[in-house]
């Protein structure tokens, strides 16, 4: 089901009916007639293919899937409420401009237009993404601007960008729709066809053993679950996590925690080593000094990555001038090619190149490294409530992390 086709006003009517246990009482709160609410609830149940309420002479009560969905909708509405407040503050909206609680009036079409413009940076491209005519998307986007009473879109040399007020609203909208997606996934799982999509942001080490192991175990238990693994620069993955586009990150943890709305959980402490190609001039030595390492070219990750911090401290603590002949890359494929085709060195977890070491292509130099390790773990949104499938994946990741030491 397309989450952007959910009617936000109908969802509000659903939550209010669940709260008061009466369609007539809910009608006055959401400013809809009783027949309108009855019709809205029927449409919602039909679109979700599940009964959300049971009705009898005493009143109207939530079913089991209805209770879970009510909680997800309530969380989504709270995201939108907070987003509307932040939008108003960031835009300096006066009370005479727009509606004070415009989150009660906003539509899915308006929020979809906002998010499409944010992604595309252009009204025409945004309209193509949504699949509607450009004038229609433009009107919808401007309707949201009038509703909020603040400026949401600004022209740049590259196209259109969201104002800070619009960015605050867009962040909350993405988190709200992430909640609704989880709610729909939970209903489908209750119905017996768990075909949810789990999106994982993965950094290099996790992709070598822990993550593939956990995914294989998950899909054996839940064969219809779809898993999407996203890689890229840490900053991009963190942005996706915080905006609800990624469910969790796995990889080297950051110290300090990178944002107030993110929390980290350790999985294991990963020891690092100095690696080189088999047959490297230093490979047969029984002891290699830090000064010896400085004579060779290196492959390192970019600045700011935990392993790069360890590389820099390796030489500074030994009072040795750091190598200047460096190739920076985050690509494991490039790194392996550079190591095997030259006398370059790198500092890396042996688990990331376990296959190459087992095949005798790469080797570990005999270097004493003090404190050369990094904590590998999970990063999630602080207020994230995983579905049963997502919770299962977390358990399997922890199990795979323990098993790697067996």
Give the pLDDT mean for 296-317.
Answer: 89
Residue extents of the structural domains in the chain = 3-172, 194-269+376-403, 273-371
pLDDT at 100: 78
Distance, in Å, from the CA atom of 378 to the CA atom of 266, rounded to the nearest integer, reads 6
Q: Which residue has the tokens 């999509």?
A: 197
Output the CA angle 136-142-144, nearest 5 degrees.
110
Q: What is the DSSP secondary-structure string of 234-281?
A: HHHHHHHHHTTS-SEEEEEPPSS-S-TTEEEEEEEEEE-EEEEETT-T
pLDDT at 95: 44
Question: What band does 207 get if pLDDT is binned at 50, 70 and 90?
Answer: low
Give the pLDDT mean for 286-304.
Answer: 93
Query: How far is residue 151 from each of residues 83, 88, 110, 190, 351, measured CA to CA in Å?
Result: 15, 10, 14, 42, 51
- Domain 194-269+376-403, CATH number (from 3.40.50.2300, 3.40.190.10, 3.30.1490.20, 1.10.10.10): 3.40.190.10
User: Mean of the per-residue pLDDT values for the chain?
Assistant: 92
Can you say whether the dihedral through the CA atoms of 129, 131, 133, 138 is positive or negative? negative
Give the pLDDT mean for 23-33.
Answer: 90
Strand partners, 365: none
pLDDT at 228: 96
Give the pLDDT mean for 23-42.
Answer: 92
Predicted TM-score (pTM) of this structure: 0.85
Instruction: Quick: pLDDT tens for 42-61.
Output: 999 999 999 999 988 888 99
Distance, in Å, from the CA atom of 312 to the CA atom of 326, rounded to the nearest integer, reads 12
Can you say whether the dihedral through the CA atoms of 91, 95, 96, 99 is positive or negative? positive
Question: What band does 176 get if pLDDT is binned at 50, 70 and 90?
Answer: very high
Whether 3-172 and 273-371 share one fold: the answer is: no
Residue 168: which of 183, 181, 155, 151 has the closest Cα? 151
Give the pLDDT mean for 201-224.
Answer: 87
pLDDT at 369: 84
What is the separation of C-alpha 303 from the centre of its chain, rounded to a whole number of angstroms?
23
DSSP label at residue 325: -
pLDDT at 199: 97
DSSP label at residue 121: S
Would you call the peptide bond into 200 cis, given omega within 30 degrees of 0 as the criterion?
Answer: no
Q: What's the chain's length in residues?
A: 406
Angle in degrees, 0-180, between the axes of helices 64-91 and 134-148, rounded to the nearest 10: 80
Q: Are strands 362-364 and 226-230 parallel, antiparallel or unpaired?
A: unpaired
Q: Which residue has the tokens 């080297």?
A: 252
DSSP label at residue 285: -
Residue 65 pLDDT > 80, yes or no?
yes
pLDDT at 365: 96
Residue 305 pLDDT > 90, yes or no?
no
Give the pLDDT mean for 317-331.
Answer: 91
Q: Which residue has the tokens 């979700």?
A: 48
Instruction: Quick: pLDDT tens for 84-117.
Output: 999 999 987 554 466 778 999 999 999 999 999 9
Give the pLDDT mean for 267-288.
Answer: 93
The three-state secondary structure class of 317 is helix
The CATH class that applies to domain 3-172 reads mainly alpha
pLDDT at 190: 96
- Domain 273-371, CATH number (from 3.10.180.10, 3.40.190.290, 3.10.20.30, 3.40.1160.10): 3.40.190.290
Give the pLDDT mean for 259-266.
Answer: 96
Distance, in Å, from the CA atom of 16 to the CA atom of 27, rounded to the nearest integer, reads 9
Question: What band does 28 get if pLDDT is binned at 50, 70 and 90?
Answer: confident
pLDDT at 47: 95
Note whether 15 and 77 are within 8 A (CB).
yes
Candidate from 24-28, 34-38, 165-169, 171-175 with smallest mean pLDDT:
24-28
Residue 160: which of 204, 108, 125 has the closest Cα? 125
Question: Could you tell me the two tokens for 128?
Answer: 């193509």
Instruction: Quick: pLDDT tens for 147-160.
Output: 999 999 999 888 89
Query: How far is residue 364 from each of residues 41, 339, 345, measured CA to CA in Å?
Result: 64, 12, 10
Give the pLDDT mean for 131-137.
Answer: 96
């Amino acid at each position: 089901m397309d989450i952007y086709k959910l009617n936000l006003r109908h969802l509000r009517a659903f939550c209010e009916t669940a709260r008061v246990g009466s369609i007539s009482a809910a009608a006055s709160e959401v400013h809809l007639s009783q027949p309108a609410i009855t019709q809205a609830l029927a449409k919602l149940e039909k679109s979700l293919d599940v009964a959300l309420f049971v009705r009898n002479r005493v009143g109207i009560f939530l079913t089991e899937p209805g209770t879970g969905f009510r909680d997800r909708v309530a969380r989504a509405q709270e995201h939108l409420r907070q987003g509307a407040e932040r939008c108003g503050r960031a835009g300096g909206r006066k009370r005479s401009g727009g509606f004070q609680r415009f989150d009660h009036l906003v539509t899915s079409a308006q929020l979809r237009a906002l998010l499409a413009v944010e992604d595309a940076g252009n009204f025409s491209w945004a309209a193509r993404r949504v699949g509607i005519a450009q004038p229609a998307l433009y009107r919808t986007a401007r309707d949201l601007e009038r509703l909020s009473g603040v400026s949401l879109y600004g022209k740049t040399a590259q196209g259109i960008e969201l104002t800070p007020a619009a960015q605050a609203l867009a962040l909350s909208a993405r988190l709200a729709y992430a909640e609704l997606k989880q709610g729909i996934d939970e209903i489908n799982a209750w119905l017996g066809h768990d075909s949810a999509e789990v999106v994982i942001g993965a950094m290099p080490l996790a992709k070598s053993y822990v993550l593939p192991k956990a995914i294989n175990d998950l899909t054996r238990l839940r064969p219809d679950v779809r898993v999407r693994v996203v890689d890229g620069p840490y900053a991009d993955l963190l942005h996706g996590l915080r905006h609800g586009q990624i469910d969790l990150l796995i990889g080297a943890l950051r110290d300090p925690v990178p944002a107030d709305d993110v929390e980290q959980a350790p999985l294991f402490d990963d020891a690092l080593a100095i690696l080189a190609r088999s047959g490297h001039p230093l490979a047969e030595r029984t002891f290699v000094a830090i000064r010896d390492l400085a004579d060779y070219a290196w492959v390192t990750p970019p600045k700011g990555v935990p392993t790069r911090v360890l590389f820099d401290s390796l030489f500074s603590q030994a009072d040795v001038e750091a190598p200047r002949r460096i190739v920076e890359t985050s690509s494991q494929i490039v790194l392996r090619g550079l190591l095997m085709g030259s006398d370059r060195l790198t500092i890396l977890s042996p688990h990331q190149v376990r296959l190459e070491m087992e095949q005798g292509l790469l080797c570990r130099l005999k270097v004493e490294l003090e404190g050369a390790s990094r904590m590998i773990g999970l990063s999630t949104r602080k207020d994230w409530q995983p579905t049963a499938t997502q919770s299962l994946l977390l358990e399997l990741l922890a199990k795979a992390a323990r098993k790697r030491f067996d």
